[in-house]
């Protein structure tokens, strides 16, 4: 080693060339180093979920969780079993060893859970799955019109455009309230039309439904028959027949009730840069990486915006990335 050091000390040209080559190679390799927004990690966990609606946590533990723990005990490759009994649901996490055969362990657990015949009659079918954690690719905040329905539809359109990008396997819209059709019946309208609340509820359940009508066999094949009566909005519900009078006149739902086509009454609220918005989170495969590049500021670039979204965005709407290995998305009037 001393001879090598002495040779480089006495040959300054070779030393400078070697150092220069190392610097150039380092600079060239720096731009090719992959960058991940979130690190990849392995999660060898099997999740077991059994809904038991209406049951107290003690009943869930005694009727579901204990039976699952007893049956999965002894499966090869299990490290730990953690059961949680909540009101109306049992959740069991089975942690596997790192070197365990996960497919085999999943099949063994699923077979053992399926063989349990002593679950309560009110318990639903168990859901057994291997947990997967796809890597987050980009998160987009969508702001725009104050109307909640229009903003939700805009977020869905942005979600559809994100799904069309290469490498994206999943995209969800968060912080949105579910749609809800509410029927408000007044006592005065019931008395005026000679109806009861139970009669109105039964008429809605009976008339707002799709029913199969059987099949017709022909020379060309079979024709499936189906009656479509399911109401999906307030206008369709208002036209449902609640009562038919002997004189041929009919009492519609709009004559006795007020239908509200809105959202569930929840406490969800999302504000982005002081404006109401919605949250789109996209995920990709675990092997997806991004080349190192300068991080763009939020809502400053239009390069990655799909053309279809430029056409559907109303004036004043805006999208911005938060965790952003990709480019930001600006508003398009």
First to last CA, the chain: 69
pLDDT at 320 over 70: no
Residue 303's pLDDT is 32
> Strand pairing partners for 204?
none
Q: Do 45-130 and 135-176+268-321 have matching folds?
A: yes
- Residue of 141 and 28 predicted with greater confidence: 28
pLDDT digits (tens, 9 = 90+) for 44-63: 899 999 999 888 999 999 99
Tell me the mean pLDDT in the region 166-171.
Answer: 78
Give the span between the Cα atoms of 69 and 49, in whole angstroms. 13
Q: Strand pairing of 290-291 and 275-284?
A: unpaired
Tell me the pLDDT band of 36, cut-offs 50, 70 and 90. Answer: low
pLDDT at 269 over 50: yes
* CATH classification (class only), 180-263: alpha beta
Give the span between the Cα atoms of 288 and 269, in whole angstroms. 32
pLDDT digits (tens, 9 = 90+) for 201-237: 998 888 888 777 788 888 888 887 877 888 888 888 8
Give the span between the Cα atoms of 140 and 156, in whole angstroms. 12
pLDDT digits (tens, 9 = 90+) for 277-294: 777 777 665 334 433 333
Contact 119, 67 (CB under 8 A): yes
In which element (H, E) is residue 66 found? helix 66-72
Please report, for the chain, the start and end positions of each structural domain, with discontinuous segments joined by +. Answer: 45-130, 135-176+268-321, 180-263
pTM of the entire structure? 0.48
Residue 305's pLDDT is 39
Q: Which residues of 78-89 are buried (b: 16+ CB within 10 A; e: fewer)?
A: beebebebeeeb
* CATH classification (class only), 45-130: alpha beta
pLDDT at 329 over 80: no
Q: What is the CATH number of domain 135-176+268-321?
A: 3.30.70
């Amino acid at each position: 080693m001393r001879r090598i050091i002495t040779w480089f000390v006495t040959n300054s040209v070779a030393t400078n060339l070697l150092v220069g080559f190392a610097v150039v190679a380092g600079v060239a390799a720096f731009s090719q180093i992959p960058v991940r927004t979130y690190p990849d990690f392995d999660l060898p966990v099997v999740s077991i979920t059994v809904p038991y609606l209406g049951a107290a946590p003690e009943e869930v533990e005694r009727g579901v969780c204990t039976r699952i723990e007893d049956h999965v005990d002894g499966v090869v490759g299990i490290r730990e079993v953690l059961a949680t009994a909540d009101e109306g649901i049992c959740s069991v996490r089975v942690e596997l060893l790192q070197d365990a055969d996960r497919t085999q362990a999943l099949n063994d657990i699923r077979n053992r859970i399926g063989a349990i015949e002593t679950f309560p009659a009110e318990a639903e079918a168990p859901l057994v799955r291997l947990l997967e954690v796809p890597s987050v690719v980009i998160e987009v905040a969508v702001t725009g019109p104050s109307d909640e329905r229009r903003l939700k539809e805009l977020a869905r359109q942005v979600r559809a455009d994100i799904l069309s990008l290469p490498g994206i396997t999943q995209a969800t819209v968060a912080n949105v309230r579910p749609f809800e059709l509410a029927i408000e019946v007044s006592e005065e309208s019931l008395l005026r039309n000679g109806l009861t609340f139970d009669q109105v509820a039964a008429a809605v359940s009976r008339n707002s439904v799709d029913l199969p009508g059987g099949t017709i066999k022909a020379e060309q094949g079979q024709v499936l028959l189906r009656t479509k009566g399911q109401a999906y909005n307030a206008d369709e519900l208002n036209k449902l027949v609640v009562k038919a009078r002997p004189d041929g006149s009919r009492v519609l739902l709009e004559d006795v009730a007020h239908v509200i086509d809105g959202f569930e009454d929840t406490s969800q609220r999302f504000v982005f840069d002081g404006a109401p918005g919605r949250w789109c989170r996209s995920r990709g495969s675990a092997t997806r990486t991004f080349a190192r590049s300068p991080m763009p500021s939020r809502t400053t670039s239009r390069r990655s915006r799909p053309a279809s979204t430029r056409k559907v965005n109303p004036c004043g709407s805006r999208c911005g990335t938060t965790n952003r290995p990709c480019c930001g998305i600006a508003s398009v009037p």
